[in-house]
Amino acid sequence: MDSGALWLLITSSNGLAFTNDGHMRTEPWMRICDALGDPTRRAIFEKLWRRPMPVGELARGLPVTRSAVSQHLKIMLDLGLVKARTVGVRRIYSVEPSGLWPLRSWIEGHMPRAVGVPERGSYANVEALLPQDERRVA
C-alpha cells in the first residue's frame, strides 16, 4: 500500500484490522491502539496502571458488569498489555509494561520525521521542545 494513500481502518473485536481495500493489518501496535481505543478498556488499563487489583475492584465505578470487565481483561491479556497472578482463589491483574513496546517502537520510529524532535535515544533535553508555559519550573 502506498504510504501516502488515504486508507480506512476497520477493526473487529478480536483485534484484527482491515483497510478499505480488504487487506488485513495485524501489526501489534495497531491492535494495541484498537484495544486502548475502547473507553472502558482504557479506564481498566489506567486503574491497573496505578496498582494491581482483582476484577471485582476493577468493576467498581465502571458502567459495565464484572463479566464485561473480564472480557476486556481477556483482550488485554491476549495482547500482553496486562498479566494475572493467582492469590488464593482470586486473580490479581496488573499492567505488563513490556506490552506497550510495539506501540512505543512504532511511535519512536516516526519521531525523527517530526520537525524539531530529537533522534531516538536523545531525549535528554526534550523539555526544551515544550512551549515555555508548559515547562517544569526548576
Work out the pLDDT band at 12, boundaries 50, 70, 90.
Answer: very low
- Asked whether 55 and 93 are in contact (CB, 8 A), the reply is yes
* CA pair distance 118, 120, nearest whole angstrom: 7
* Domain assignment present for 62: yes
Mean predicted confidence (pLDDT) in 10-16: 46
User: pTM surpassing 0.85?
Assistant: no
> What is the span of the domain harbouring residue 41?
29-101
* Domain assignment present for 60: yes
Domains contained in the chain, number: 1
* Domain assignment present for 109: no
What CATH number has the domain bearing residue 35? 1.10.10.10
Tens of pLDDT along 54-109? 999 999 999 999 999 999 999 999 999 999 999 999 999 999 999 999 988 888 87
* CA pair distance 51, 44, nearest whole angstrom: 11
Provide the pairing of β-strand 10-11 with 17-18.
antiparallel
For 117: left if phi > 0, alpha if psi spans -120 to 50, otherwise beta; the answer is beta
pLDDT at 14 over 70: no
Find the length of the chain: 138
Residues of the chain with pLDDT > 90, as a percent, come to 49
